[in-house]
Homo-oligomer: A and B are copies of this chain.
Amino acid sequence: MTETLLLQDMVALVRPQLERLNRELIEDLAPGHREMLPLVEHVSGFRGKQLRPVLTFLAGMAVRGAAHGGVLGDDVVTVAKVVELLHTATLVHDDVLDSANVRRRIPTVNQMAGVEVAVLLGDYIYAKAFHMAVQLPDPTAARWLAETVRIICQGEITQVLHRFDFAWTEPRYFQVIAEKTASLYAAACRLGGHYSGGTEGRLRALEEYGLELGIAFQIVDDCLDLDGDERVVGKSLGTDLAKGKITLPLLYLIQQGPAEAERLRSVLGKSEAEGLRRLRAEFPLEHAVAYAMQEAQRRIAKAQASLSALPPGPAREALHQLACFVLTRRL
């Protein structure tokens, strides 16, 4: 609860833009088609912290500095919508990949309407997002985001192909999470700045901020899957273990030696509950998570350092705080 309040405090700066985005997004997606509307409305229930559109708005404000106030152009709002829709599409497909039943305490699309509808609805939302992006007179967002989605899929495919792969390494792990997660954070930040008239130097700083923040976000996510509180996180835990995804805490355990790695092999691919139980009972999980969280901390420090290229002001301050939130979040 305290965390949610803290986050609310940080996003207060962009509350009007965020409310406008959420108001318009259902209308944008619902094309007056009576079969599509219930699906689109259901998906809007997945709405979470909305970090990505918040970052787009804050980036748009931050490149201009305190003197120019918080007025953002319509194009920045469009970019934030597209980013949020692309993220939503990946969630709908992720739930298919994970055979997940619940997201944010409501049924996933595959659970509610079947795998077929879920695959098609994800495609539908991707198409709608691209259609929105290509309405912008400046094609930068459409180009950057189409390439970003390609990179996201490339990262996800690489991860799937290397499940249960005990030759997996930290550099490859970082590469994959940069692709599948951080690339969209980087794009959200850079494009928010771009459509607000930022200079190339400031856009690069925002891009680096988003990239490092996104990497940290994914590391924390991977830790929460192993030691989070299911009631707080709001989704089932242990899925990475069950799916054989070798995340950073597991890489730490593998690096403890061949015997440890061999024992870990017998935990991967078990049911979520059994995998988690055995991991918590038989392995130094606390050390593994602490090791991963130290890396997340380094990434956050790097993200924050890159903000020095931006003019000081409340938006830059909010970006700084938001980075801390990513590190301390438990949901």
Question: Which residues of A are interface residues toward B (Cβ below 8 A)?
Answer: 31, 33, 35-36, 39, 93, 96-97, 113-117, 119-124, 126-128, 130-131, 133-135, 139, 142-143, 146-147, 149-150, 152-154, 156-158, 160-161
Q: Which of B97, B120, B150 contacts A93 (CB 8 A)?
A: B120
Q: Shortest CB–CB separation between residue A303 and chain B, in angstroms?
A: 26
CB pair B146–A130 under 8 Å, yes or no, is: yes
CA distance A152 to B115 in the complex (A): 17
CA distance A149 to B132 in the complex (A): 13
- Which 4 A/B pairs are nearest by Cβ-Cβ distance? A131-B146, A124-B153, A127-B149, A127-B150
Copies of this protein in the assembly total 2
CB pair B122–A123 under 8 Å, yes or no, is: yes
CA distance A284 to B120 in the complex (A): 34
Q: Shortest CB–CB separation between residue A8 and chain B, in angstroms?
A: 33
Q: By CB atoms of chain B within 10 A, which of A97, A114, A123 has the most? A: A123
Q: Shortest CB–CB separation between residue A322 and chain B, in angstroms?
A: 27
CA distance A38 to B115 in the complex (A): 26
Q: Shortest CB–CB separation between residue A75 and chain B, in angstroms?
A: 15
Contacting residues, chain B, for A135 (C-beta < 8 A): 143
Contacting residues, chain B, for A158 (C-beta < 8 A): 35
Contacting residues, chain B, for A154 (C-beta < 8 A): 31, 33, 35-36, 124
Q: Shortest CB–CB separation between residue A193 and chain B, in angstroms?
A: 20
Contacting residues, chain B, for A123 (C-beta < 8 A): 93, 122-123, 126, 149, 153
CB pair B134–A150 under 8 Å, yes or no, is: no
